[in-house]
Amino acid sequence: MLLEQINQPSDLKRLKVEQLPTLAQEIRQYLIEQLSATGGHLAPNLGVVELTIALHYMYNSPDDKFLFDVGHQAYVHKILTGRKDRFHTLRQYQGLCGFVKRSESEHDVWEAGHSSTSLSAAMGMALARDYKGESNKVVAIIGDGALTGGMAFEALNHIGHEKSNLMVVLNDNEMSIAPNVGAMHNYLSKIRSDRTYVKAKEELEQLLKKIPAIGGKLAKTAERVKDGFKYLVVQGMLFEEFGFTYLGPVDGHDVSKLLETFEQANRVEGPVLVHVMTTKGKGYSPAEADSHKWHGITPYKIESGQVMKAVGNPMYTEVFGNVLMELASQDERIVAVTPAMPGGSGLLKFAEKFPGRMIDVGIAEQHAATMCAALAIEGMKPIFAVYSTFLQRAYDQVVHDICRQDANVIFAIDRAGFVGPDGETHQGVYDIAFMRHIPNMVMMMPKDENELRRMMKTAVDYNEGPISVRYPRINGTGAVIDQELTPIPIGQWEIVRKGDSAAILAIGPMIPVAEEASELLKREGLNIRVINARYIKPLDEEMLLQLAKEHLPMVVLEEACLAGGLGSAVLEFYATHHIFNQIVYPIGVPDYFVEHGSIKEQRAEAGLTAEHLVEEMRALLYSRGDNRLSRA
Ligand SMILES: Cc1ncc(C[n+]2csc(CCOP(=O)(O)OP(=O)(O)O)c2C)c(N)n1
Ligand SMILES: CC(=O)[C@@H](O)[C@H](O)COP(=O)(O)O
Ligand SMILES: [Mg+2]
């Protein structure tokens, strides 16, 4: 087995070129086997086996810098750079990260998780290199999906201006997570499929090769003829217009062709873009057949391709998708907008049922947000379906275009809270902090799937301005679904458990945690009130004033960053109402990035467990010598 000999890129370089396809096959098999146990981004990585081998064979990482866009397709890179033996820990607590991670290896020079950042980073690294008078290569590997991200265009524009030496490898597999969308995608498809261009280009290259070894002027003329040819056959080669030398399209599964093209690229002065054509899921038929499903996959049976689905109640995402269809059938103003996540956001059935009313804008959260503002101002009911973590990308558009204009946009914020294996780049723990402080924003979080349905109805009925519902990446609680869809009065909280020793204000999946803690403390004679603080904004001011009147010490519990979260809002409320003797103890995600693992492990690490809550409440109450304890 060649793979057994490979622990560092230097080992790879000892192989002959003709051995590389065998190595690729072994790595492919290794990925299929490993990920059948761990799950992960199988299809993207199967598509870049030969590409990654060719890059490490041609260039000298880490001096030559590889910047993987999104970074979900860097498993082969990790295998070739000494992490094969840890692969069984992929995306597990304190195991290998599923994305590029600088603390894991010197070969991981740039981290991501969010899309479309690699070209900007490549520009920065190339400029730094030039300032330092160094000469290493800078290579960004970006997918056709990531290329639809606005940042990528900003970087292309600047790179073409600076004309620094850097290489962009465009990994074009015609897929984002779902089939890719947009004019850029159509353009790339034209190049990919324009056999005339590809064939004529090959014939021209053969012809040029036949001309006796030419140097000097004639060689330059020949190059100019070839370049001019591109304009003839493929008008306005977009990348050439951006100041790049465009090479390709090249078969991304043919290592020799890739090496040949990289050789050619090495001779180019200035920015060069190598257009590589790959198949997402290459070499594993279930993944090739449905690379949308196999983009990110849970453990599976190799032979049958049967995925081991976590059993349980429907995910909140599915409940959202279903209630949205109910609402949309009653209100034709409703349109759903997704930035490249139709599947993950639960909108596939909606798209089928309401053709034309699900708009996938590509990886373009900023564009999506501002477009929703305009849709709302023109009387539509836009549902901006977006993961909490990816909403971060559109913060200014939420402030400047949606809230400031009081546009009636409905935010369906999925993956709110910990997300598990995707880890620190994907945790949905900041949206409360960055949304609640914006004027005109209303923000809710349901305690269960029945409340999610009611909140979506509340949001659709609300016509005053922007309104958000956030919900987690977990299964529902199994709550009874009442078909009524009764709206929930804006700003109204709910007491889910009575008590007069202290109170826990909790939201979403923290409510069962609060109830469990309350049950445990009951054995010590403490009757803890549990409140479903389901409106993060506006707060239930009446209930807060009542709690103060009762002098009930309280904990505010949220699976969101402590800084700026719901606990902060409650503290702000009492302070600004000159109520200075009310005890408020906020418990949330501490001030650091919580890495990959299971949601359970992440909550345990962050102290969001009933056991930890009990400790904190004991400390809070006993330390005060609270006279209520005398009843214990
Ligand atoms: C800002 C942002 N939005 C959305 C995503 C979710 N996402 C992860 S990978 C991906 C598709 C990437 O497509 P492409 O770049 O073509 O890579 P491929 O998976 O096809 O190899 C998307 C939309 C993200 N990571 N970052
Ligand atoms: C790499 C990336 O950003 C997406 O593939 C993300 O991992 C999807 O997350 P879900 O699995 O929660 O849909
Ligand atoms: Mg792609």
DSSP letter assigned to residue 181: -
In the set 65, 91, 280, 457, the catalytic residue is 280
Pocket lining: 145 vs ligand 2, CB cutoff 6 Å? no
d(CA 512, CA 446): 12
pLDDT band at 225 (very low <50, low <70, confident <90, very high): confident
Q: Is 216 left (phi over 0), alpha (psi -120 to 50) or beta?
A: left
Atom of ligand 1 nearest to the CA of 147: 15
Each residue's pLDDT tens digit, 380-436: 999 999 999 999 999 999 999 999 999 999 999 999 999 999 999 999 999 999 999
Boundaries of every domain in the chain: 3-9+18-194+242-289, 195-233, 316-470, 494-630
Q: Find the 45 Cα to ligand 2 centroid distance in Å.
A: 14
- State in Å: Cα 561 to ligand 3 middle: 32
Provide DSSP, 109-178: ----SSSS-HHHHHHHHHHHHHHTT----EEEEEETTGGGSHHHHHHHHHHHHH--S-EEEEEE-SBSSS
d(CA 412, CA 607): 27
Is 342 close to ligand 1, i.e. is its CB under 6 Å away?
A: no
Percentage of the chain beyond pLDDT 70 is 94
- 176 CA: nearest ligand 1 atom: 13
Please pick, among 393, 436, 454, 457, the residue that the annotation labels catalytic. 393
Neighbour count for residue 355 (Cβ, 10 Å): 7
CA of 68 to the centre of ligand 3 (A): 13
536 or 228, which is more confident: 536
Question: Residue 191's pLDDT band (boundaries 50, 70, 90)?
Answer: confident
Residue 204 clears pLDDT 80, i.e. is over it = no
Rounded-to-integer distance, Cα 199 and Cα 165, Å: 29
Backbone angles phi, psi at 195, to 5 degrees: -60, -30
Mean of all residue pLDDT scores within the chain = 94
Q: Whose CA is closest to atom 1 on ligand 2?
A: 72
pLDDT tops 80 at residue 50: yes
379's torsion region: left (phi>0), alpha (psi -120 to 50) or beta? Answer: left
Task: Confirm or reject: Cβ of 72 under 6 Å from ligand 2.
Answer: yes
Q: How far is the CA of 178 from the centre of ligand 1 (A)?
A: 9
What percentage of residues in the chain have a pLDDT greater than 90? 88
Asked about 280 being catalytic, the answer comes back as: yes
Is residue 344 within 6 Å of ligand 2 at its C-beta?
Answer: yes
- Does ipTM top 0.90? yes
Residues contacting residue 3 through CB under 8 Å, at least 6 positions apart: 23, 26, 27, 30, 79, 84
Confidence of residue 630 (pLDDT cuts 50, 70, 90): very low
* Protein residue with its CA nearest to atom 13 in ligand 2: 344
CATH numeric code, 316-470: 3.40.50.970
Q: What is the pLDDT confidence band of residue 233, given thresholds at 50, 70 and 90?
A: low
Distance 422 CA to ligand 2 centre (A): 7
Q: Is 144 in the pocket of ligand 1 (CB under 6 A)?
A: yes
Tokens of 224: 């100019």
Say whether 615 is catalytic.
no
The CB of 140 under 6 Å from ligand 1? The reply is no
Q: Are 130 and 158 in contact (CB under 8 A)?
A: no
Q: What is the pLDDT of residue 632?
A: 36
349 belongs to the catalytic site: no
Do 3-9+18-194+242-289 and 494-630 come out as alike in CATH topology?
A: yes
Q: How far is CA 554 from CA 347, 362, 421, 550, 582, in A?
A: 39, 44, 32, 11, 8
Closest CA to 399 of 367, 432, 452, 437: 437
Verify whether ligand 2 is closer than 6 Å to residue 70 (CB atom). yes
pLDDT per position as a tens digit, 485-540: 999 999 999 999 999 999 999 999 999 999 999 999 999 999 999 999 999 999 99
Chosen CATH of 3-9+18-194+242-289 out of 3.40.50.300, 3.30.70.100, 2.40.128.20, 3.40.50.970: 3.40.50.970
496-507 tens-digit pLDDT:
999 999 999 999
Site to probe by mutation for ligand 1, drawn from 41, 70, 397 as the one with most ligand atoms within 8 Å of Cβ, is 70
Whether residue 180 has pLDDT greater than 80: yes
Between CA 351 and CA 345 the distance in angstroms is 11
Q: Which atom of ligand 1 is nearest to the CA of 142?
A: 15
Q: What's the CATH fold of domain 494-630?
A: Rossmann fold (3.40.50)
Please state the residue numbers annotated as binding site.
72, 113-115, 144-146, 173, 284, 365
| Cβ neighbour number for residue 629 with a 10 Å cutoff | 15
